[in-house]
């Protein structure tokens, strides 16, 4: 088993971080014969009317609209929708490439998803195999395999619990006992200082801030294809997260070799490897306390 200071984790939001837009917009919403803006407006209205969580509202609306349009909502249907999701430049080669770099530095690196999107769709994507764990919202299914109720809703505040699960090595979402047990920081599976969180917006701020405040790094990404202007542009929003001390740096959502994200994460891996050397020397040089008798 690797020493904790030789382990590292990169946790990603999904929508707007690894893939453009929201995952429902790639295939599911078009199947409803709706425009994305119309679907999300209805979601907002539903949440406001019932004073409900936005994530629960969109999940309920997906089931309701699918039922009205007689569109099947079995697990395999959501998985098929996920298979059609397109990604930002370099994403599909990123995970193995950066894990290989970490291995060369004798750092054991794992990738995780922490998303408000649907785990069933993410599980159907071409990149799903690269994640040690996918933490995302999901449905319950009846005896016919049909989705009928939300099983888990991951919103911007609950996202942070999954960082602690990674930190403590308690990855089972149903284990609520172990995650609340105190574990000495040096005995935790992945130190926060060896974590990187990559996200794209305000819903990722709690995770970005948590990782950064504990000595890790957060990257705010933006879609370079979105050409809005001024303070509302994705780039300016990402830069504001850096100015507000939420994120370590901002970068366009390009994961290809030599991109800003690629160069920055390699440097973060280098830092983790260097810290491991220092910690090992410090640990081996400790002397027992003097005998005061």
The per-residue pLDDT for 277 is 87
* Whole-number Å distance between alpha carbons of 243 and 245: 5
Prediction pTM value: 0.92
- In angstroms, the Cα distances linking 20 to 33, 89, 114, 230 are 20, 10, 16, 20
The per-residue pLDDT for 177 is 77
The per-residue pLDDT for 230 is 61
Residue with token string 């640990």: 283
The per-residue pLDDT for 290 is 52
The per-residue pLDDT for 288 is 53
* Whole-number Å distance between alpha carbons of 127 and 122: 8
Q: Among residues 169, 171, 136, which one has the least CA distance to residue 59?
A: 136
Q: What is the DSSP code (8-state) at residue 223?
A: -
Q: Which stretches of 95-186 are assigned E, i.e. beta strand? A: 108-118, 131-141, 147-152
The per-residue pLDDT for 293 is 45
pLDDT per residue as tens, the chain (293 positions): 456 678 999 999 999 999 999 999 999 999 999 999 999 999 999 999 999 999 999 999 999 999 999 999 999 999 999 999 999 999 999 999 999 999 999 999 999 999 999 999 999 999 999 999 999 999 999 999 999 999 999 998 899 999 999 999 988 888 877 787 888 877 889 999 999 999 997 889 999 999 999 999 999 999 988 876 666 788 999 999 999 999 999 999 999 999 999 999 999 999 999 988 888 787 776 655 555 44
The per-residue pLDDT for 228 is 67
The per-residue pLDDT for 1 is 44
Alpha helices in 136-259 (DSSP H): 159-168, 205-213, 234-243
* Whole-number Å distance between alpha carbons of 229 and 236: 9
Give the pair of three-digit tokens for residue 73.
């909502």
């Amino acid at each position: 088993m690797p020493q904790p200071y030789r382990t590292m984790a990169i946790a990603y939001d999904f929508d707007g971080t690894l893939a453009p837009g929201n995952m429902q917009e790639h295939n599911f919403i078009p199947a409803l014969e709706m425009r994305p803006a119309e679907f999300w407006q209805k979601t907002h209205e539903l949440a406001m009317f019932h004073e409900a969580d936005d994530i629960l509202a969109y999940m309920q609306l997906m089931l309701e609209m699918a039922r009205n349009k007689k569109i099947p909502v079995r697990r395999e249907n959501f998985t098929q929708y996920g298979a059609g999701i397109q990604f930002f430049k370099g994403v599909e080669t990123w995970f193995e490439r950066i894990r290989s770099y970490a291995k060369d530095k004798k750092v054991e690196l794992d990738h995780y998803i922490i998303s408000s999107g649907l785990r069933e769709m993410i599980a159907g994507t071409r990149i799903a195999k690269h994640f040690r764990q996918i933490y995302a919202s999901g449905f319950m299914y009846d005896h016919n395999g049909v989705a009928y109720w939300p099983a888990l809703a991951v919103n911007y505040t609950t996202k942070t619990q999954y960082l602690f699960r990674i930190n403590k090595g308690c990855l089972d979402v149903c284990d609520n006992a172990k995650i609340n047990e105190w574990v000495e920081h040096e005995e935790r599976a992945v130190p926060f200082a060896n974590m990187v969180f990559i996200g794209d917006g305000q819903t990722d701020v709690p995770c970005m801030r948590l990782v950064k405040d504990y000595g890790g790094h957060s990257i705010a990404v933006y879609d370079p294809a979105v050409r809005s202007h001024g303070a509302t542009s994705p780039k300016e929003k990402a830069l504001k997260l850096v100015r507000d001390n939420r994120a370590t740096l901002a970068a366009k959502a390009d994961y290809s070799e030599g991109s800003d994200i690629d160069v920055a994460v390699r440097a973060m891996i280098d830092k983790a490897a260097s810290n491991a050397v220092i910690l090992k020397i410090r640990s081996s040089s400790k002397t027992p306390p003097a005998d005061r008798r």
